[in-house]
Structure 1
């Protein structure tokens, strides 16, 4: 390839990293908050799919994309809250409950969303970062989701809150030592339910990004496992919100590589490039979960660091 073609591919990958990585960012931030409190939510795939359907339906019925985003967050919070409440019961396993709710959320989305497969809904607006260029390709590549800056700000605020606020300290305490939290008079179950619920709202916004921006429609195969990938992404980011931003862009860039190469006429191995996010997930899990590596930053109540 020529130098200009490599430049076009690089810009396309950078723009695609933001476009594809936005849902990863919101879902990983939601799971980061949940896991910081000492609870894991494997039902995020169900949260993501159901929220995407609800957000698309809300935008279609109201004609307002931002009302769709709000509805997606509320639906995600409700399903996540159910997970948190069930996991607060004695002898209930987080993993099993998460898998059950993943199936519940996906099933509800597929059943309730059938009338939404054909219609078009109002879309989340774009922010044009490529107006400085005369190239239509550059302008298209740097047209980003308006939710992305919100996600970046949210990552920074979460990192600051964990380090500098009383509520951040309580969440971290519930995740690191439930006995210490109880000794100070806090209800660990309440903290975890609240953290899981808010995490579900944040993840639900990621679902809205899928159905209302990229690919911008509702269908049953919309998520492609992104909710489960986000769990691995949080481990890779070492439970740090700002690092979740970098990890989301890494996964988004991997997902955008195939379309970027295809845009300059390179179609060989296109399906292999489409598998990049899943291969990357496997490599990250092998690398981070090796017995020889310490999971620094892992909340102790998750038992993943023991």
Structure 2
């Protein structure tokens, strides 16, 4: 029990919980950064996350391989992203309306096709024990880090470098800032945005696979608590910076770990109120970043929420 550590059990539990809870936020937010830096917002990532969780879990059950589940979840995310991108490329189509429709579609399909996988058990994704230096089982458990968390950290660093120093990153930034400038350079904004949306969907699908194959590690219809939608606020909070998304995901993850951390040290009254911390944080971020007099710093010029 974390309670054996006394008050130290709270920060230990929060650190461990932040690492576990932040991983879906990290992948979805990185995918949304890719999409929004191209000038398109995708509110459908919640549906992609849920469908990815179902597809990954079902594949792992049928094949016996958790990594096969991650791959299929990513491919499912690509399909959802392509559909979203192609529809949004049509004239007079609103990104936000399409995103809401895709969110409902993804969740509905996941619930329909996922019913046979509620009971079966799938193999878990591997984790790396980084707490071996301590004799305390609580510390060891807190620092039992899933491989996808480390992959997400590496992807955040690679994406930051890509946006800063590569032709692909420059292309995405130009398309996201000005459609006219992109066309003047001979680029095809609609195609680039569709590909960016598909890549963002793949990231969200992987985030969903993490939910079902590691934490909480099962498939059910309530597996997501709105991480896909909260990730949009996280991206705004991180100012479209992939590395800042990593730290923001840890912050959101830590907020999500407050309730379980208090419960683990023996707090029996009122701890459940802290389960609402991620939602309160999301609301606070949206209020703090809203303004009728100034643009969001760092926001791509073609993004719907800046117009």
Same fold (TM over 0.5): yes
Structure 1 residue aligned with 2:93: 92
For 1:115-154, list aligned pairs within 5 A: 115-154=116-155
- 1:160-199 to structure 2, matched below 5 A, reads 160-199=161-200
Separation of aligned partners in 2, 1:5 and 1:287: 36
> What's the offset of the Cα at 1:209?
0.5
**In structure 2, distance between residues paired with 1:277 and 1:234:** 14
**In the alignment, which residue of structure 1 is the partner of 2:218?**
217
Contact 2:58 2:117 in 1 (8 A): yes
- Please, what TM-score do these two structures have when normalized by structure 2? 0.97
Query: Given the superposition, is the C-alpha separation of residues 219 and 199 from structure 1 closer, same or farther in structure 2, using an over 3 Å criterion?
Result: same
Residues 217-260 of structure 1 deviation map (CA, whole Å, 9 limit, x = unaligned): 00001111110000000000000000000110000000011111
* 1:115-172 Cα shifts (integer Å, max 9, x gaps): 0001100110111111111111111111121100100000000000001000100001
In the aligned structure 2, how far is the partner of 1:181 from the partner of 1:297?
18
Q: What secondary structure sits across from 2:281 in the alignment? A: helix
CA drift of 1:303 comes to 4.1
Correspondence for 2:108: 107
Structure 2 counterpart of 1:299: 300
Q: Normalization by structure 1: what TM-score?
A: 0.97
CA drift at 1:4:
4.4
In structure 2, relative to structure 1, the CA distance for the partners of 1:292 and 1:86 (3 Å cut) is: same
**1:292 shift after superposition:** 5.5
Q: What CA distance in whole angstroms lies between the structure 2 residues aligned with 1:19 and 1:152?
A: 13
**Number of aligned residues:** 305
Provide the residue aligned with 1:9 in structure 2.
Answer: 10
Map 1:15-30 → 2, pairs under 5 A: 15-30=16-31
**Counterpart in the other structure of 1:63:** 64
CA contact (8 A) 2:182 2:189 kept: yes
Secondary structure of 2:269 counterpart:
coil
Query: Residue 95 of structure 2 contacts residue 304 of structure 2 at CA under 8 Å; is this kept in 1?
Result: no
Cα RMSD over matched residues? 1.3
Q: Which region of structure 1 is more displaced relative to structure 2, 260-269 or 174-183?
A: 260-269
Task: Tell me if structure 1 keeps the 8 A contact 2:65–2:123.
Answer: yes
Residues 40, 304 of structure 2: 8 Å contact kept = no
How far does residue 42 in structure 1 lie from its aligned partner after superposition?
A: 0.5
The separation in 1 between residues aligned to 2:74 and 2:268, in whole angstroms, is 37
Query: After the TM superposition, which segments of 4 or more aligned residues of structure 1 sit over 6 Å from their partners?
Result: none
CA distance in structure 1 between the aligned counterparts of 2:5 and 2:290, rounded to whole angstroms: 40
Q: Which residue of 2 aligns with 1:250?
A: 251
Q: Distance in 1 between matches of 2:54 and 2:5?
A: 40
Give the equivalent residue in structure 1 for 2:239.
238
Shift of the alpha carbon at 1:79? Answer: 0.6
1:228 matches 2:229: yes
Partner of 1:43: 44
Between 286-295 and 74-83, report the one with greater CA deviation. Answer: 286-295
In 1, the alpha carbon distance for the partners of 2:305 and 2:214 equals 35
Unpaired stretches in structure 2, ≥5 consecutive residues: none
* Cα shift at 1:293: 5.6
**1: CA distance, partners of 2:127 / 2:257:** 18
* Deviation of 1:3 (Å): 11
